[in-house]
Homo-oligomer: A and B are copies of this chain.
Amino acid sequence: MQVPQGTVLFRPEDACQGFVVVHSGTIKVTLTAENGREIVLYRVRPGEVCLQTFGCLVNHTTYSAEGVAETDCALEVVPAAEFERLVASDSAFRSRLFGAVAARFADLERLVEDVALSSVAERLARALLRLAGTSAAVDATHEALASEIGSAREVVSRQLGAFARDGLIEVTRGHIALTGRARLEALAHQAD
């Protein structure tokens, strides 16, 4: 099924309708505090697992985070019974599922490490590099970057300002060019 960008796929307390498989596009899964602060837990791209959906299906619980189509998506929702049948009888499916689940947990572990044990500069450097991929720039608002690292928009504005003054980046509205990529990488890997 086709889902346009911005569609909310699930919210906390929602019942789970089936296992979500992403064929194209990206789903962003976030947690939001009462004060409006939010953090991106992970993204689901083709070949990856939505752990929320997995957890709901396996333990018969409701969603505890929010999932939004970050881009236009092509999704498939596998009914719970079909999911269980695939897990039981399709060893290739199960292997991929296990691998994807394990990879996702590694991501979450790094997120915990980031948030609990790293400075804002390190976290922001990592987020910029991750969002850029092979590109030399990131298109994101300060608010979006704040959600990526679990901080506040003002804190991101300040830190981007410091990065800009130090020559690591060049900022325009909604766009950040990574002019000092090597230094960002050095910062990003400081705690490794």
Contact = CB atoms under 8 A, between A and B. Distances in A.
Interface of A: 31-35, 37-39, 41, 51, 54-55, 58-59, 61, 64-65, 87-88, 91, 94, 98-99, 101-106, 108-109, 111-113, 115-118, 150, 190-191
Count of this chain's copies in the oligomeric assembly:
2
Contacts of A191: 33-34
B41 A112 contact: yes
Contacts of A32: 117
Contact of A109 (B31, B35, B115): B31
A115 B112 contact: yes
A116 B39 contact: yes
A130 to B, nearest CB: 16
A112 B108 contact: yes
Given A87-B94, A91-B88, A106-B64, A33 B113 contact: yes
A118 B33 contact: yes
